[in-house]
Structures are given as structure tokens and as C-alpha cells.
Amino acid sequence: MIYFDSAATSWPKPVEVLQAVEYCLKFVGANPGRAGHRMAVEAGRIVDEARELLAVLFNIRNPDRIVFTLNATEALNLAIKGLLKAGDHVITSSMEHNSVTRPLHVLQGKGVEVTKVPCDGEGFIRVKDIEAAIKPNTAAVIITHASNVTGTMMPVTEIGQLCKRKGLYFIVDAAQTAGVFELDVRFMGIHLLAFPGHKGLYGPPGTGGLYIAEGLELQPLKEGGTGSNSELPGQPDVLPERYESGTLNSAGIAGLAAGLKFIRREGMERIRRHELELTRRFLEGVEGIKGITVYGPKDLHNRAPVVSFSMKGKKAALVGAVLDQKYNIACRAGLHCAPDAHRTLGTLEQKLVRFSFSYFNNEREVDYSLNALRELDATAPEKLAAGYGKSCGC
Amino acid sequence: MIYFDSAATSWPKPVEVLQAVEYCLKFVGANPGRAGHRMAVEAGRIVDEARELLAVLFNIRNPDRIVFTLNATEALNLAIKGLLKAGDHVITSSMEHNSVTRPLHVLQGKGVEVTKVPCDGEGFIRVKDIEAAIKPNTAAVIITHASNVTGTMMPVTEIGQLCKRKGLYFIVDAAQTAGVFELDVRFMGIHLLAFPGHKGLYGPPGTGGLYIAEGLELQPLKEGGTGSNSELPGQPDVLPERYESGTLNSAGIAGLAAGLKFIRREGMERIRRHELELTRRFLEGVEGIKGITVYGPKDLHNRAPVVSFSMKGKKAALVGAVLDQKYNIACRAGLHCAPDAHRTLGTLEQKLVRFSFSYFNNEREVDYSLNALRELDATAPEKLAAGYGKSCGC
């Protein structure tokens, strides 16, 4: 199988990630931070190590300012709901994932004002449009580092500078970039950085986290056992416990630590170069297929290795089903949980097919997929629908 | 090592649990419910299977009413915060874990009224005391199935009948009982059942869930990508997606499904009998050690395999450290994230040592631990402190 769905979750995982998970489950199965016995202490050490590796990756001074969550969505919910209160105004883009727009939608019902700055047809946001949207009650800017639909990279450093100048909090959704692109919370002026563990960081599913800038206090999303200051009626103030109630996914975090070490060993730049090289090859190849329209930036400038496209006269779900069943290519067809992005691109009705490339893909796979798309392009829609329409409900 | 800390997380896990996690990470690494390709469909199938196994275990008619969470704490937060609103009154016991008391503490600040019904010296609650606490605005009763400190089982069936008679919602925390004791949501009249995946169900850490009774609508704790109805500005109404935003811990859930099959194969009654037999043996043996005081029920009647005790003149943390370092016994010393329970028992200052037994423990381990406790009892506190005090801060 050719796996082009790494924007959903990366696969395969480096072998050391699997080994780390197995080792943790087999030999360090205790609950970290919950007891003084050696196995619990060792479980705590593994979790701390992951925190330290993340701190180095994101240039975070104090690893305890990173809290682990189930996924990036939970991290974004904690960031957004933990920070904003009634009367606040928040600025975001028209390219966001539902993990940003839906919590904001809920907050709108509670008196938070939201401005969605329109992006251009390639998904780019202009910093001056953000600046123009600032009001006296603006509290924060929330933006994705790269669109999960078009791969469009947002000018995070410039937005960070704007936020610093205007005294706004800056929240970044790094779902598509953590582990692949530079993320320096200090240089970029990021106050809250949400990241998944299971995409570009190569950890198992069930891992993610949030960096919370020094001095910033959020309302916790959950309260419960923290393993420290148990006698307090409410959550302790100390991080990371304040935001990490209940048993952590320690085995998953062990795998995440192994994924982080894999990135360090291979080199993030090398990983990125490989993924972007595949993206370039695909973009160039697809240019010659006349029925295909690619959305988002046409070149590699400011682009993550995610490409969405449509095929003239063929529904995205049908194309996805044929790629899967006939060509054994795993990709994703639909709205990618980002209807705002599709509204921006004008593809809400039609939907798109998304290919996302990883370090474990190769040129042969890209070429094979281009051939598949050429064949598909040359096939009448009715013929495809007759063969595969049932399976995708088209 | 002798592992007597299964009330925190069970260890070891059945070998098939490790195999299921590995298989999922290696061969079914895709994101369930997020794409139509075969690997994503297979990942979805594994998650569905876990849901179905849980539905059978808890006698739940519709598996989709079970939503997966990071842990039981998240499930309890969703239940408590999702259900209760300002003006509501809720009744709970004086033996609850912080995963219940701390969310309630937050809600108290938002206009929810909380009554903690005092339990007796063994941790028992009387149903008539709950009944006496009911007010016109009482919305729900929240109670643990078994105390994580004393193992005291609460009369859940009778409380369920009371709730039914009085038209109250009934929330049960099954952290210490799921997989070991019968839990029948229909017979017991439970509306919201929170359970961990990584304790008595033998799943990996990072797994847990909440059963939500048919017709009951909760405010979600998190919003985000749900893989279905992506075009809606808010969460879809359909379960389980409504409460499962973001990528699930699919590998962990695969392990949980294997754990559930292990329980089915071994037989829950056989597992329970074994664990309670070890509890009985320990309780009988410890009776002859004069410096030891056991808290909670003295016999096996209505008791989970969790035993907490103190040693005269010796701090719990010191006893825990010696057991770990000298005798290689992993247990837990402290407040066990349940200060209310310790207030009820009068042990908030002194704290307690907790042994929790699992299906993988044996009689030899219990006898060895009894010998260790006899030696400890015969040793002067100063001598222990001199040898191990530093490591535990005593």
C-alpha cells in the first residue's frame, strides 16, 4: 500500500517508536507521578524525557510548560477555552481546522467575538489584514502554521511580531508542521503552541500537547487527580500537573520520545527536504494532467507537504475510492474537517482529494500515483462510478 | 518485583494486549473514521469492536453511546460538567476521588450546589442519608463504585433505584471496579458510567470512556474534527463523534479490545475470585501484625481488592520507600488523590500505604509481603528513617 495520508496520522512509525511503546508497556507499566516505587519513577522519567525533547525542538526554556493531551484538538480546546473570556475579541483565519473553529463557535455563544480574516485563493493570509482587524478588545490571534487542506504556510513569525507589538496573545496550531518545520516559540513570539504527537513527531496516536508560555494562566479543561498537592480542593497551580489530570498515555509518550529522537538523528531539515522534494515532483507531474486542478500554492515556497486537488467531472469521494481499491493508494477525500478552508477555496460542494507525503514515501510511489491519476483522468466518470460508486456512496 | 499498585494502573498486561497494540501501530496505523481507505476503515473496525465489547460487558444496548476518552478522569469531567448547570444540586459521597471532587469544586464556583454525604469509618454510605440530602433542585447523584483508598463498595444498585424513584441522574465512577465487578447500566439505573481502560480492563494507559444513557445530552468538553458532518459550525449531534473530537488513541483502544477479550476468556468471576482470595489472605495475615491498622471493611463483603493500612509510629511514605527499596514491593503511599476519603477515615495527616491486588499476583507474593511487613513492624522507626528516610523525604 502507498500511504499518502500522513496529514491525518503518520505511518509507518519508525521502528524505535514501536519498540519504545512495547518496552514501556512491558517493563515500565506503572503510573508516572503516582507512586514512589521504582517502576513509577521510571515511567515518570520517560515522560519527562519526552517533555525535554519537545522543549529542545520548540526552543522552550522550561519543559514543565509543556502539557500532554490526547491530541492537538484537546490542546487547542485548552488553549482557546482556557484563555478567552466573554467580551474578548479574537482574530483567526478563514483556513482553520474545525479544532479551532468549533471551540470558537462555542465561545461565540458565550460572548467571545470572533473575526475570521479572509485568506486569498491559495489560502494565504496577509498580516496587514490581521492588523486591520484588531480592536480595543482583541485578546489573541489564533492561526494554523500550515493549512491541512492546501499546505499553505502562514507567516507565523510576522504575525508573532504583530502580536508582540499590539500586546496580543498568539496561539499557533502546529498540527501539520511540528517535526517538519522550524518552530521556535521564543523567536516567533508564540504564547500557546498546540501540536499532535502522532503526525510529524512520529509518536503513536493518543499523544499531543500544548506549550503554555511562562506566566500565562489558563482555566483547566479538566480537573482531577494530579499525583501532587492532593489535599487541595481545586487544581494545583504547578505545571504540568495543573493541566494533566488523570493517568497519562505514558506508553504513547514513550513512543513520542522515540519519535523525537528519530527526528533528531535523521535531521529535521533532511526530513523536510525529502518531503518537499516529493511534493515538488508531484506538483510538477500533476501539471500535465489536464483534468486536475491543484489548490493552494503552486510552488514549494512556504508550502507544507500536503496537496489537495480536484478532478474534472469526478467527485472527490469517487476518486479516493478508486485510488484505494484499484491502485492501493491511501489518501483522503472530503472536507478534511476544515469547511472554512473549502469555503475560501470555493470547494465546499465539490470537496477535494488530499495527498500528504511523509519521510517514508519515495519517488517511485509519487510516480506510480501520477500514472494512476493519468489513467483516472482518461476514464469516463460514468465508468468509474459504475465500478466504484457504490463503495463511496457516490 | 511484586506489583501491588494495580489500583493506579494494572501491570503486567496480558500478552495479547501488547500484541494488539503492536499490530495496530504496525499494520493499521491510519486514523479511524477520517478517510475511506482500507487501513482507516480497518482502524475504525478495531475501535468499533472495543465499543461493542464494552457494551456487552456493561449491558449497554447501543455501543455508540460509549465515547472514548484519555482516561476515567476525562470521562468524569465530561459527565459532571456536561450535565450540571448553575442552580443544580448534586449529591456525592465523602469518599470520592479528586476526579469527582475537583470538577465539582469548580462547578461550585459557577452556582452548582454540592452535598457530600458523610460515609462511616469504613467508608460506607447509607442510602437513606443520600435520600435525606435530596432537595427540590437535586439533579444527580455521583458516586464511586468502590473507594480507591479502602476498597469499600458502594450500594450502587440501591442508589440507582433511589435515583429512578426520585427522577435523578445517576453518575458512577467505576475506576476500581470495571472489569472486576458486575456493572449493568440498565439493571443499576446508571445514566453516566465513567471507566478507565488501563486498570481492570487491562488496556494500555491513555484509554478510558464514558457511557451516556440514551436521550441524555451533554455539553461536550471539547470540539473539533469529528470526521463526519464536517461542514457544521458546531459539533454534530450524532454519537460517538459528538464527544470524540480529534484523533483517538486507536492503538491503545486496540489493546483495550484485547484486554476485554482476555476478561471474557478468563471469566470476570474467576478474576474477581482470585483477587479477593488474595485480599482475604492479606487481611487475615495482617491481623496478626500488631502495629498495623487496616482501614475500610475488615471482611470480603462488598470489598474491592484494595487495602490501605498504617503502621504505628511509621510514616506511610517511609514504609512505601522501604517496601520498594528493600523488599522490591511496588505499592502506593500517600493520599491516593482522595483527600475527602482520608478526612472520612481520619488519616489526612498520617496518610496510608495501599496494596492493590490483581489477577497476576499470587499467594506467594502476598505471603512475602506479610513477612516484609512483620519485619518492618519489628524495626524501630528511627532505624528505618536512617536507612530510607532520605529517599522519601521523611
Total tally of structural domains belonging to chain B: 2
From the list B232, B251, B333, which residue is nearest A205 (CB)?
Answer: B251
Residue B77 within a domain: yes
Residues B353 and B367 in one domain: yes
Across-strand partners of A181? A178
Q: What is the pLDDT of residue A29?
A: 86
Q: Do B225 and A31 touch (CB under 8 A)?
A: no
Chain B residues close to A316, C-beta within 8 Å: none
Q: Distance (Å, rounded) from C-alpha A145 to C-alpha A175? A: 8
Chain B interface includes A105 (CB < 8 A): yes
Residue A3 within a domain: no
Q: Do B230 and A206 touch (CB under 8 A)?
A: no
Chain B interface includes A5 (CB < 8 A): yes
Minimal CA separation from A186 to chain B, in Å = 27
pLDDT at A299 over 90: no
Minimal CA separation from B165 to chain A, in Å = 30
Residues B169 and B316 in one domain: no
From the list B38, B71, B101, which residue is nearest A324 (CB)?
Answer: B38
**Which residues, numbered 317 to 336 in chain B, qualify as contacts with chain A under a Cβ-Cβ cut-off of 8 Å?**
317, 320-321, 323-325, 329-336
- Residue A34 pLDDT class (50, 70, 90 cuts): confident
Q: Distance (Å, rounded) from C-alpha B147 to C-alpha B123? A: 8
Residue found under cell 521523611 = B394
B146-185: per-residue pLDDT in tens?
A: 999 999 999 999 999 999 999 999 999 999 999 999 999 9
Minimal CA separation from B96 to chain A, in Å = 11
Interface test with B, best of A1, A9, A37 (most B CBs within 10 A): A37
Q: What is the largest CA-CA distance in chain A?
A: 69
Chain A residues close to B13, C-beta within 8 Å: 25, 29
- Contact at 8 Å (CB) between A21 and A247? no
pLDDT at B393 over 70: no
pLDDT at A368 over 90: yes
Residues B205 and B112 in one domain: yes
Is beta strand B2-3 parallel, antiparallel or unpaired with respect to B329-330? parallel
Return the closest-CA partner of residue B141 out of B152, B122, B151, B127: B127
Residue A1 within a domain: no
Return the closest-CA partner of residue A112 out of A120, A121, A103, A125: A103
Cis peptide before B155 (omega within 30 of 0): no
Chain A residues close to B207, C-beta within 8 Å: 206
Residues A127 and A276 in one domain: no
Chain B residues close to A26, C-beta within 8 Å: 12, 18
Residues A105 and A198 in one domain: yes
**Which residues, numbered 233 to 252 in chain A, qualify as contacts with chain B under a Cβ-Cβ cut-off of 8 Å?**
233-235, 245-252
Q: What is the pLDDT of residue B228?
A: 83
Which regions of A302-373 does DSSP assign to beta strands (E)? 306-311, 329-330, 332-334, 352-356
| B207 φ, ψ (degrees, to nearest 5) | -130, 145
Residues B26 and B171 in one domain: yes
Chain A interface includes B12 (CB < 8 A): yes
Cell of B288: 496478626
Chain A interface includes B150 (CB < 8 A): no
Q: What is the mean pLDDT of residues A178-191?
A: 98
Chain A residues close to B103, C-beta within 8 Å: 222-224
B322-354: per-residue pLDDT in tens?
A: 999 999 999 999 999 999 999 999 999 989 999
**A138-144 β-sheet, strand order:** A66-69, A208-212, A192-196, A169-173, A138-144, A89-93, A113-117
Q: What is the pLDDT of residue B59?
A: 98
Q: Do A36 and B321 touch (CB under 8 A)?
A: yes
| CATH code of the domain covering residue B158 | 3.40.640.10
Residues B67 and B179 in one domain: yes
Q: What is the pLDDT of residue B35?
A: 76
Q: Do A74 and B76 touch (CB under 8 A)?
A: no
Domain final residue, candidates A234, A266, A298: A266
pLDDT at A378 over 70: yes
Minimal CA separation from B223 to chain A, in Å = 5
From the list B8, B97, B250, which residue is nearest A30 (CB)?
Answer: B8
Q: Which helix (H) or strand (E) holds B2?
A: strand B2-3
Percent of chain A with pLDDT over 90: 92
Q: Distance (Å, rounded) from C-alpha A93 to C-alpha A101? A: 9
Residue A102 within a domain: yes
pLDDT at B394 over 80: no
From the list A196, A225, A251, which residue is nearest B206 (CB)?
Answer: A251
Chain B residues close to A331, C-beta within 8 Å: 35, 37
Q: Do B249 and A204 touch (CB under 8 A)?
A: yes
Cell of B97: 476521588
Q: What does the buried/exposed string (b/e) look like for B314-350 if buried means 16 or more CB atoms within 10 Å of the residue's CB?
A: bbbbbbbbbbbbebebbbbbbbbbbbbbbbbbebbee
- Contact at 8 Å (CB) between A304 and A358? no
Residues B243 and B292 in one domain: no
Q: What is the mean pLDDT of residues B354-376?
A: 98
Residues B138 and B90 in one domain: yes
Residues B272 and B253 in one domain: no
The residue type at B177: T
| CATH code of the domain covering residue B386 | 3.90.1150.10
- Domain containing B135 equals 15-266
From the list A17, A106, A231, which residue is nearest B348 (CB)?
Answer: A231
Q: What is the CA radius of gyration of chain A?
A: 22
From the list B198, B251, B348, which residue is nearest A204 (CB)?
Answer: B251
From the list B25, B36, B251, which residue is nearest A333 (CB)?
Answer: B36
Percent of chain B with pLDDT over 70: 99
B11-55: per-residue pLDDT in tens?
A: 999 999 999 999 999 999 888 877 789 999 999 999 999 999 999
Chain B interface includes A348 (CB < 8 A): yes
Chain A residues close to B208, C-beta within 8 Å: 246-247
pLDDT at B3 over 90: yes
Q: Is the dihedral of CA B177, B178, B179, B182 positive or negative?
A: positive
Q: What is the pLDDT of residue B387?
A: 85
Residue A367 within a domain: yes
Residue A8 within a domain: no
- Residue A201 pLDDT class (50, 70, 90 cuts): very high
pLDDT at A314 over 70: yes
From the list A38, A222, A334, which residue is nearest B73 (CB)?
Answer: A222
B115-144: per-residue pLDDT in tens?
A: 999 999 999 999 999 999 999 999 999 999
pLDDT at A393 over 90: no
Q: What is the pLDDT of residue B388?
A: 86
Q: What is the mean pLDDT of residues B60-69?
A: 98
Q: Do B249 and A103 touch (CB under 8 A)?
A: no
Residue A5 within a domain: no
Min mean pLDDT across A295-309, B196-210, B253-267 is at A295-309
Chain B residues close to A198, C-beta within 8 Å: 247
Chain B residues close to A228, C-beta within 8 Å: none
Q: What is the pLDDT of residue A23?
A: 97
Q: What is the mean pLDDT of residues B59-72?
A: 98
Minimal CA separation from A133 to chain B, in Å = 22
Residues B74 and B197 in one domain: yes
pLDDT at A301 over 90: no
The residue type at B17: V
Residues B241 and B284 in one domain: no
More confident residue, A126 or A34: A126
Q: What is the mean pLDDT of residues A74-83?
A: 98
pLDDT at B391 over 90: no
Chain A residues close to B203, C-beta within 8 Å: none
Chain A interface includes B394 (CB < 8 A): no
Min mean pLDDT across A318-327, A383-392, B140-149, B220-229 is at A383-392
Q: What is the pLDDT of residue B301?
A: 83
Domain final residue, candidates A244, A266, A288: A266
Q: Distance (Å, rounded) from C-alpha B350 to C-alpha B332? A: 14
**Chain A residue at shortest CA distance from B327:** A37
Q: What is the pLDDT of residue B187?
A: 98
Q: What is the pLDDT of residue A146?
A: 98
Chain A interface includes B316 (CB < 8 A): no
Residue B8 within a domain: no
Domain final residue, candidates B243, B266, B289: B266
pLDDT at A202 over 70: yes
Q: What is the mean pLDDT of residues B86-97?
A: 98
Chain A interface includes B94 (CB < 8 A): no
pLDDT at A361 over 90: yes
Chain A residues close to B77, C-beta within 8 Å: 221-224, 245
| B328 φ, ψ (degrees, to nearest 5) | 60, 35
The residue type at B271: I
Q: Do A12 and B21 touch (CB under 8 A)?
A: no
A89-128: per-residue pLDDT in tens?
A: 999 999 999 999 999 999 999 999 999 999 999 999 999 9
From the list A207, A231, A324, which residue is nearest B36 (CB)?
Answer: A324
Return the closest-CA partner of residue B142 out of B113, B165, B173: B173
